[in-house]
Amino acid sequence: MKNNSNAPTHLEHHVHIGEVPILSDSASPKIVLVGNPNVGKSVIFNYLSGIYVDVSNYPGTTVEVTKGKYLQYDVYDTPGIYGVSSFNDEERVARDIILEGDVIINIVDGVHMERDLFLTQQLIDMGKRLLVVINFWDEVNKHRIKIDIGKLEHFLGVPVITATAVKKEGLKTLEEKIQQARQGKQNRQLHSKLHIMLTIVGSQSEALLVLEGDEFISKNHGVAPLNERESVYIDRRNRVNYIVNQIIEDDSTRKHIYSLIGRWTVRTITGIPILIGILYLMFLFVGKLVAQDLVGFTETYLGNELWEVWIRSVVTGFIPATSLVAKILVGEFGVLTMSVTYLLFLLFPLVFAFYIALSLLEDSGYLPRLATMVDRSMIFIGLNGRAVIPLILGFGCVSMATITTRLLSTEREKTIATTILQFAIPCSAQLAVITALLVGAGFQALLIYTAVIFSVLVTIGTVLNKTLKGESSPLLIDLPPMRLPRINNVFQKTVVRTFSFMKEAAPWFFLGAGVIGTLEVTGLLKIWQQALAPLTVHWLKLPADASTAFVMGLVRRDFGAAGLYSLHLDPMQVVVALVTITLFVPCVTSMIIMYKERGWKKATLIWIGTWLNAFLIGGLVAHIIGIFKIL
Amino acid sequence: MSAKEMIQKSLRLRLFSLFDAKKGDTVKIVNLPVGLARSQFIRFGIMEGDIVKCLERLPGGTILIQKSRQEIAIGLQLAKNIIVTKH
């Protein structure tokens, strides 16, 4: 990291913020798209950059950054933010990219100018070359809002254009005007304050952030953050309110059908049926159509019957089938057989479907409303309403859900949500097997199972809430308008996300299969199974074979559950075995993701915790049922 | 200001917390809590002196407010710390 002391003295010198390889690998001028959440940034980004984009995690964070190419420029899409500072990971990432940007395209929602222009004015105060795009112009007209563009340009001092990005209206003009982006007009008082700071810090953008008390930037320059955020914010807000009053005439009072739907989704009476309906549709699509029907075809037919048979015959053509290498490559856990089938024929369709559902929910504006509806019930387990999203997604796939814990605002909340996911939420694949087994064991068994798992979930949340330092952050979210998702955008987002997920997951699958295959051919897998047997037989009161299921459960959760299928268990044993396997360690994928997201210390703690907890609770259930002779 | 004076003043101005606002009430924000939440409110466009409408009161105490076209959900703990008065 460069230090300010040896920086050149000319004023616009840039001090780089930490390690930013994604930004520094190119000398091309940078266009950065900036805006509040849900203002259509990604649509404009896709228009400018075409389909060849590069998604990667921003160094040191779990926030995704998308980079593309437009003419001679590098184009960056940033996470949606309401202001530039360091309130959360998204803001930190956006801030660093904005600081490096040569031209900023600021996209604002024409229906929410009062909120969005705050960020616009802040970007202007940072001294960035700016071009403002007022998006959703069709909605502005529909709502009969009159915006005086000429006056707005005059007040801001930067070019302003209007667009309806999803219909590609106004985007040609946008291309023509990129060259005209320029620095805008600042408040005079702020300007003089900035001048003083500028002599110390060297760049106007960073001078402003120091003035607004950004600790990170201040530390980088070896200066104390100033405590002027509040006064600067209030001045800026007053200026924005003044501008809005001057340029907007809004006399429509007409209620929009979408805003009515939005209200229904947060009210308990209508909100719960809507939630159930949405979950059911998601289950039909992801859980049934894709996870069962499509994957049934791709995994069994394309994977097991075509690919694995073919690759096995190719490999054994070169080396004998009984050799160790052949077993590791194309055996039961083969690197070329099992990993490829899992990756391409199981995970790929599931992930794709999952991302379609998620993108639809995101683009519709439903998720923040769901968070609002359930906010109160989440407080007991140390979370706020936002956490409902990863928890619900967990029933689809725990691994994916662990990734979405990113949207929680504090590390404390992320830890609680991850722990609950890894301990107590069965994924859809496992759920299918569990349901089948429980139906066989009777209604009482179902009741005991559900009660035990639910109590564990609540207990874990409550205990973590009491023991982890700090407090949960109260909910404070802006509800975006409900909108009909655009298929194009949903599809494009899904393709990009699926591709980057597969790229990340693939090496781990090959590695995992290699390790398990090696364990098997060396006989270590057998020893492992035998070591676990006493615990299974005496403590859990299950047949000795059940330990095989637990070993399989290490690899994939549904494997573990499926392993119980062939065991001929009585109802009590079914409940005990299912409770244990549900609470048992998460599958390899979700474990790896947990290590990435939470760091090895926490992840190891959680992982060991699931072992102890699963066998403890499983055994307790076995003994309690035994004593009371319930089943 | 002593506690007694504060109570008298709040009675005179009919101050109450946003948490106690009723659905459909239009209230004026008198005081926002300090800290990051305050900065976030200012970014959203809500400051002391602004008039907002209480759109919904959810069973657990989460409050939904509206200012012009914007809707903001506020958790119980935060709503309790926002002082408002009837408009």
Q: Which two tokens stand for residue A338?
A: 């099992």
Instruction: With cut-offs at 50, 70 and 90, classify the pLDDT of residue A19.
Output: very low
Would you state the pLDDT for residue A631? 61
Q: What share of chain B is helix, strand, coil (3-state, %, to 5)?
A: 30, 35, 35
Inside any domain, residue A167: yes
Percent of chain A with pLDDT over 90: 26
Instruction: With cut-offs at 50, 70 and 90, classify the pLDDT of residue A4.
Output: very low
pLDDT tens digit sequence for A352-363:
887 888 788 888
Number of continuous H segments (helices) and E segments (strands) in chain A: 31, 10
Topology classification of domain B14-86: SH3 type barrels. (2.30.30)
**Residue to substitute from B36, B57, B62, interface A, most A β-carbons within 10 A:** B62
- Give me the tens of pLDDT residue by residue for chain B, a chain 87 residues long: 677 777 777 667 789 999 999 999 999 999 999 888 899 999 999 999 999 999 999 987 899 999 888 899 999 989 999 999 988
Please tell me which residue of chain A has the smallest CA distance to B40: A82
**Residue to substitute from B44, B51, B77, interface A, most A β-carbons within 10 A:** B44
pLDDT tens digit sequence for A114-150:
999 999 999 999 999 999 999 999 999 988 899 999 9
Q: Do B76 and A376 touch (CB under 8 A)?
A: yes
Could you say which residues from 568 to 597 on chain A have a Cβ atom under 8 Å away from some Cβ of chain B? Answer: none
Would you state the pLDDT for residue A618? 92
B44: chain A residues, CB-CB within 8 Å: 82, 115, 478
C-alpha Rg value of chain B to the nearest Å? 13
Which residues of A424-514 form beta strands (DSSP E)?
476-479
Calculate mean pLDDT across residues A444-460.
Answer: 89
Interatomic CA distance for residues A199 and A221, integer angstroms: 12
Query: Which DSSP helix (H) or strand (E) runs through A505?
Result: helix A487-521
Q: Do B73 and A377 touch (CB under 8 A)?
A: no
- Measuring CA to CA, how many Å separate A368 from each of A42, A80, B20? 19, 14, 23
Instruction: With cut-offs at 50, 70 and 90, classify the pLDDT of residue A156.
Output: very high
CB within 8 A of A596, min separation 6: which ones?
A62
Total number of residues shown for chain A: 631
Please tell me which residue of chain A has the smallest CA distance to B38: A230
Write the residue in B37, B43, B61 that is nearest to A83 by C-beta.
Answer: B43
Q: Which two tokens stand for residue A432?
A: 């299918």
Inside any domain, residue A153: yes
More confident residue, A631 or A336: A336
Task: Tell me how crowded residue A238 is: count the other CB atoms within 10 A of its CB.
Answer: 13
Chain A nearest CA to B7, separation (Å) = 27
- Cα torsion angle, A576, A578, A580, A583, sign: negative
Interatomic CA distance for residues A279 and A273, integer angstroms: 10
Contact status, residue B43 vs residue A91, Cβ threshold 8 Å: no
Q: Does A377 touch chain B (CB under 8 A)?
A: yes
Interatomic CA distance for residues A584 and A237, integer angstroms: 52
Inside any domain, residue A140: yes
**Max mean pLDDT range (A9-13, A156-160, A305-309, A422-426):** A156-160
B77: chain A residues, CB-CB within 8 Å: 474
pLDDT reading at A15 higher than 50: no
Contact status, residue A212 vs residue A197, Cβ threshold 8 Å: no
* HSE of A288, CA atoms in CB hemisphere, 13 A: 7
Chain B nearest CA to A479, separation (Å) = 5
Calculate mean pLDDT across residues A591-617.
Answer: 86
pLDDT reading at A60 higher than 60: no
Q: Do A266 and B68 touch (CB under 8 A)?
A: no
Percent of chain A with pLDDT over 70: 89
pLDDT reading at A270 higher than 90: yes
Q: Do B62 and A375 touch (CB under 8 A)?
A: yes
**Structural domain span for residue A118:** 21-185
pLDDT tens digit sequence for A470-500:
777 788 989 988 888 888 888 888 888 788 7
More confident residue, A257 or A319: A319
Inside any domain, residue A562: no
Query: pTM of the prediction?
Result: 0.79
Distance of CA A604 to the CA centre of its chain: 21
A241: chain B residues, CB-CB within 8 Å: 45
Comparing CA positions, the residue from A64, A348, A33 lying closest to residue A174 is: A33
Calculate mean pLDDT across residues A212-241.
Answer: 88
Would you state the pLDDT for residue A525? 76
Interatomic CA distance for residues A113 and A146, integer angstroms: 12
Write the residue in A112, A115, A477 that is nearest to B73 by C-beta.
Answer: A477
Chain B nearest CA to A82, separation (Å) = 6
A118: chain B residues, CB-CB within 8 Å: 42-43, 45
pLDDT reading at A433 higher than 80: no
Respond yes or no on whether ipTM tops 0.90: no
More confident residue, A551 or A253: A551
Inside any domain, residue A371: no
- The enclosing domain of A105 has a CATH number of 3.40.50.300
Interatomic CA distance for residues A221 and A201, integer angstroms: 6
CB within 8 A of A488, min separation 6: which ones?
A166
Query: Which DSSP helix (H) or strand (E) runs through A64?
Result: strand A64-70
Q: Do A267 and B44 touch (CB under 8 A)?
A: no
Could you say which residues from 337 to 376 on chain A have a Cβ atom under 8 Å away from some Cβ of chain B? Answer: 368, 371-373, 375-376
Calculate mean pLDDT across residues A84-96.
Answer: 86
Lowest mean pLDDT among A220-229, A401-410, B27-36: A401-410
Interatomic CA distance for residues A631 and A438, integer angstroms: 13
Instruction: With cut-offs at 50, 70 and 90, classify the pLDDT of residue A408.
Output: confident
Instruction: With cut-offs at 50, 70 and 90, classify the pLDDT of residue A386.
Output: confident
Calculate mean pLDDT across residues A364-380.
Answer: 87
Would you state the pLDDT for residue A592? 76
Q: Does A233 touch chain B (CB under 8 A)?
A: yes
The number of folded domains in chain A is 1
Distance of CA A594 to the CA centre of its chain: 13
Write the residue in A233, A372, A475 that is nearest to B39 by C-beta.
Answer: A233
Q: Do B45 and A377 touch (CB under 8 A)?
A: no
Inside any domain, residue A75: yes
Could you write out the three-class secondary structure of A134-169? EECHHHHHHCCEEECHHHHHHHHCCCEEECEHHHCE
Interatomic CA distance for residues A609 and A282, integer angstroms: 31
pLDDT reading at A52 higher than 70: no
pLDDT reading at A13 higher than 70: no
Please tell me which residue of chain B has the smallest CA distance to A471: B77
Q: Do A230 and B41 touch (CB under 8 A)?
A: no
**Residue to substitute from A239, A375, A409, interface B, most B β-carbons within 10 A:** A375
pLDDT reading at A615 higher than 70: yes
Calculate mean pLDDT across residues A583-598.
Answer: 78
Calculate mean pLDDT across residues A150-156.
Answer: 96
Comparing CA positions, the residue from A509, A521, A563, A505 lying closest to residue A331 is: A521
Instruction: Identify any residues that bridge with A57 across adjacent strands, giving them in sequence order.
Output: A64
Would you state the pLDDT for residue A306? 93
- Cα torsion angle, A135, A137, A140, A145, sign: positive
Average pLDDT, chain A: 83
Q: Do B40 and A82 touch (CB under 8 A)?
A: yes
B39: chain A residues, CB-CB within 8 Å: 83, 85, 87, 229-230, 233
Q: Does A237 touch chain B (CB under 8 A)?
A: yes
pLDDT tens digit sequence for A514-557:
877 888 788 887 787 788 888 888 888 888 777 777 776 776 66
Would you state the pLDDT for residue A51? 65
Secondary structure of residue A56 in the 3-state scheme: strand
Write the residue in A82, A263, A379 that is nearest to B56 by C-beta.
Answer: A263
Inside any domain, residue A220: no
Instruction: With cut-offs at 50, 70 and 90, classify the pLDDT of residue A9.
Output: very low
Interatomic CA distance for residues B65 and B25, integer angstroms: 10
B40: chain A residues, CB-CB within 8 Å: 82, 87, 476
More confident residue, A103 or A415: A103
Q: Which two tokens stand for residue A441?
A: 């064991």
- Measuring CA to CA, how many Å separate B63 from each of A51, A368, A477? 42, 13, 11
Would you state the pLDDT for residue B17? 93
Would you state the pLDDT for residue A253? 58
Secondary structure of residue A340 in the 3-state scheme: helix
